[in-house]
Amino acid sequence: MRVAELSRTSGVPVPSIKYYLRAGLLPPGERTAPNQADYGDSHVHRLRLIRALIEVGGLSVAAVKEVLESVDAQGADLHEALGSAFAATLPARTAEEESEYTETARRTAADLIERHGWLVGSDSKNVEALVSALAVMYRLQQHDVESMVELYAQHANTMATREVAWVAERGDIDAVVEAAVVGTFIGGAVFNAMRVIVHESASKKTLAAS
Amino acid sequence: MRVAELSRTSGVPVPSIKYYLRAGLLPPGERTAPNQADYGDSHVHRLRLIRALIEVGGLSVAAVKEVLESVDAQGADLHEALGSAFAATLPARTAEEESEYTETARRTAADLIERHGWLVGSDSKNVEALVSALAVMYRLQQHDVESMVELYAQHANTMATREVAWVAERGDIDAVVEAAVVGTFIGGAVFNAMRVIVHESASKKTLAAS
């Protein structure tokens, strides 16, 4: 299809499509004449993915490029592709400086990984993000941190295992990787919105009862 | 205490403290001499909260100011204070333009709110965020959206209800509001890190079994 039809099908305006082409987010179409290119279904999918990452994931164009590059670089190794796609979704955050809290946080994380049998590399960015967040929780001396951490671990276990099964039901590698990226971001946005809705609702109920 | 001791106690460098004072994030100390002020425990707490919001919440100084202002403005009305603090935690995102997907998403959200008995205002920003994310999920035509939405709703229900109970165990309004803000951000960061760790782990297990 030509660029005008690609725009109609995907719902993305032509100037945006041209911008994504120039920025290297969208692979070029097949050239059919000096000023004309042909686009396929893969372009429609890729455009939807780009828009979802920007609009709901809240990612910058540069961050979208990084996610897509890690997905594109993987070829046929599904496991590597999924791992990179998930790792690329984590925002870079200032690391908690090394302190007694970081040590406690690292022990807690190692204990969780062992008890729950999580298969993660020791150099996983995801584990580092967990240690950072836990260290801040300990530093702020919130009471009863352990029982909250266990609550989060149990929910993360059952919820994320179901999500991965949902993603794995797709057919080919492209569909699986796309679903994994979309699931992480869009699913995450859906869940986070529900979580604060329940916060709002539960505090109203608690206060009404007291 | 003087500013040097405030810095030692809170772990925040003096230049950062002075910057937060100028930016209006930290209330001024009690002036004891033309060039000298006295700070108390409330300053230590506030500094820890500011650092947590910036480092783990990933918020800008301007966003932190907005959160703190909505907390400070509430006075004694706990319910309003909690609601504003939670609403302030939601990132502003480009709204999905009105479409068939938005209509479907709005119906789904209304149905969830009714079935789960969530007490939220119809103009809640949190509900708008949910509708936006759901609309993108429908637009991307991911299969079996309904069962994922129900999975998220069940986890949000039990997890967030426990979180609110945990927050409500605190004593005075300041401690409750601080715990609510910290819980939303830091608890959210802890949970999100665990979620992607389980994604990574579960995909390795799925692939090893196939």
Per-residue model confidence as pLDDT tens digits over B1-42: 999 999 998 889 999 999 999 999 999 999 998 888 999 988
pLDDT digits (tens, 9 = 90+) for A148-193: 899 999 999 999 888 888 877 776 666 776 677 777 777 888 888 8
Q: Kindly state the tokens that stand for A107.
A: 């022990």
* CB-CB neighbors (< 8 A) of A183 in chain B: 142, 148
Residue A76, pLDDT score: 41
Q: Kindly state the tokens that stand for A111.
A: 């204990």
Question: What domains appear along chain B, each with residue ranges and CATH number?
Answer: 1-55 (1.10.1660.10), 79-209 (no CATH)
Pick from A48, A93, A147: CB nearest B140 = A48
The reply to whether B82 touches chain A by the CB within 8 Å rule is yes
Q: Are B140 and A182 in contact (CB under 8 A)?
A: yes
Residue A145, pLDDT score: 86
CA–chain centroid gap for B84, Å, is 10
The reply to whether B29 touches chain A by the CB within 8 Å rule is no
Q: Rounded to a whole number, what is the distance in Å from the CA of A204 to chain B's nearest CA?
A: 6
Determine the average pLDDT of the residues in B59-79.
Answer: 68
Pick from A113, A164, A201: CB nearest B118 = A201
Q: Which residues 87-116 of B are in CB contact (within 8 Å) with A? A: 87, 89-91, 93-94, 96, 112-113
Residue B76, pLDDT score: 41
Q: What is the mean pLDDT of chain B?
A: 80
Residue environment code for B2-11, b if the CB has 16+ CB neighbours within 10 A, otherwise e: ebeebbeebe
The reply to whether A181 touches chain B by the CB within 8 Å rule is no
What gap in Å lies between CA B94 and CA B132, rounded to an integer? Answer: 9
The reply to whether B122 touches chain A by the CB within 8 Å rule is no
The reply to whether B175 touches chain A by the CB within 8 Å rule is no
Is B160 in Cβ contact with A199 (below 8 Å)? yes
CA-nearest residue to A88 within chain B is: B196
* CB-CB neighbors (< 8 A) of B49 in chain A: 140
* CB-CB neighbors (< 8 A) of B132 in chain A: 55-56, 189
Q: Are A31 and A1 in contact (CB under 8 A)?
A: no
Do the interacting molecules here have an ipTM over 0.85?
Answer: no
Q: Which of B67, B190, B207 is best to mutate for the A interface (most A CBs within 10 A)?
A: B190
Is B54 in Cβ contact with A183 (below 8 Å)? no
Residue B94 has pLDDT above 50, yes or no: no
- Under 8 Å CB pairs connecting chains A and B tally to 279
CA angle A65-A68-A70, nearest 5°? Answer: 110
DSSP state for residue B185 in the 8-state scheme: I
Q: Which residues 42-81 of B are in CB contact (within 8 Å) with A? A: 48-49, 52, 54-56, 58, 78-79
Q: Kindly state the tokens that stand for B22.
A: 């100028």
Pairwise pLDDT comparison (A190 vs A74), residue with the higher score: A190
* CB-CB neighbors (< 8 A) of A13 in chain B: none
Residue A21 has pLDDT above 90, yes or no: yes
The reply to whether B191 touches chain A by the CB within 8 Å rule is yes
Q: Are A27 and A35 in contact (CB under 8 A)?
A: no
Q: Kindly state the tokens that stand for B138.
A: 């429908």
Nearest to B195 by CA among A154, A147, A142: A154
Residue A108 has pLDDT above 70, yes or no: yes
Residue B207, pLDDT score: 67
Among A50-54, A71-75, A122-126, B143-147, the range with the most confident prediction by mean pLDDT is B143-147
Residues in Cβ contact with B89 at an 8 Å cutoff, skipping those fewer than 6 apart? A196, B57, B67, B181, B184, B185, B188
Pick from A133, A143, A199: CB nearest B190 = A133
DSSP state for residue B24 in the 8-state scheme: T
pLDDT digits (tens, 9 = 90+) for B164-206: 888 777 766 667 766 777 777 778 888 888 888 888 788 777 7
Nearest to A185 by CA among A91, A89, A92: A89
Pairwise pLDDT comparison (A129 vs B88), residue with the higher score: A129
Among A21-25, A81-85, A94-98, B195-199, the range with the most confident prediction by mean pLDDT is A21-25
